[in-house]
Structure 1
Amino acid sequence: MSEFHGISVGTERRDFGLLLSFKAVGRLTHKDYVVVLPIVDQVVSQYRNGEIYVLIDITELTGWEVGEAVTDIRLAFQYSDQFKKTAVIGCTKWQRITSIVGGWILGGTTRYFSEVHAAQKWLNHS
């Protein structure tokens, strides 16, 4: 039996801007990105003049196909000028390292958290 995997996306308008949230589960594949990228493209393109705050939950992420790391980098570069703050929630050392490297690519400020409440509090105080 295969392991469940995928990326869920949520959007929420806040006083400080748009909150774009992601939850990655399992080992991500190209098909996961094919489903999610058009949604992200549409949301970001409709919010061109506003600031976007990002919440990424990778606590259930176990990895991804090698080619999909490139997709992550492309996504980060494409929207880096609109992402003001990015909070990454993880629970392992490799997830922390991944978030640090991703923070170098993303625009704005990126921070790693081990608790969702701390990440949300940081994002809410813009």
Structure 2
Amino acid sequence: MSQQHGFSIGIGRINDEFVIHMKAFGTLTHEDYKTITPMLEGAFKQVEHPHIKVLADMTHLEGWELQAAWDDLKLGLKYGSHFEKVALIGAQPWQDALAKIAGWFVGAKVEQFSEYAQAKAWLFDKDKDKEKD
């Protein structure tokens, strides 16, 4: 029996701001990153705003293979300064730790949420930005 794993990615607008929507599922592999990296780079080029907001659904993410974790770190280091805010959706305790660690490597505010509505509200609410600073 094969196990499904990988990413889906899209660019959308919420109000007048661009957001990259990502969904990760299964246990990510190096091959997944070989596929997603050009997609992400293409998405970044399409967003003219210098600071990108990301809404990442990790509710079905089980983890990374070692090489994939390294690939993820390299992506964060290469593009981290492009991110303004990253909202991670997932309820696993290790995902909260991941949000804290990710904040060290990207130039963005990174928060973890258990629900989509909470993540979206934080991502686009200017008053909540001021509270977090």
The verdict on a shared fold, with TM-score over 0.5 as the criterion, is yes
CA-based RMSD of the aligned residues comes to 1.5
Q: Structure 2 unaligned segments of length 5 or more: list them.
A: 127-133
Is the helix fraction higher in 1 or 2? 2
Q: Quickly say closer, same or farther: Cα 1:59–1:75, change in 2 above 3 A.
A: same
2:118 corresponds to? 118
1:9 deviates by: 0.5
Deviating runs (4+, > 6 A) in structure 1? none
The aligned amino acid for 2:24 is A
Q: How does 1:92-111 map to 2 (within 5 A)?
A: 92-111=92-111
Count residues in correspondence. 126
Structure 1 CA distance for aligned equivalents of residues 79 and 48 of structure 2? 10
1:62 corresponds to? 62
Q: Structure 1 unaligned segments of length 5 or more: list them.
A: none
Q: How does 1:67-86 map to 2 (within 5 A)?
A: 67-86=67-86
1:48 deviates by: 5.2
Structure 2 residue 18 is matched with structure 1 residue 25: no
2:129 corresponds to? none
Q: Quickly say closer, same or farther: Cα 1:77–1:17, change in 2 above 3 A.
A: farther
- Percent of aligned pairs sharing the same letter: 37
1:16 deviates by: 4.8
The TM-score, its normalising length taken from structure 1, stands at 0.91
Structure 2 residue 50 is matched with structure 1 residue 50: yes
The aligned amino acid for 2:105 is I
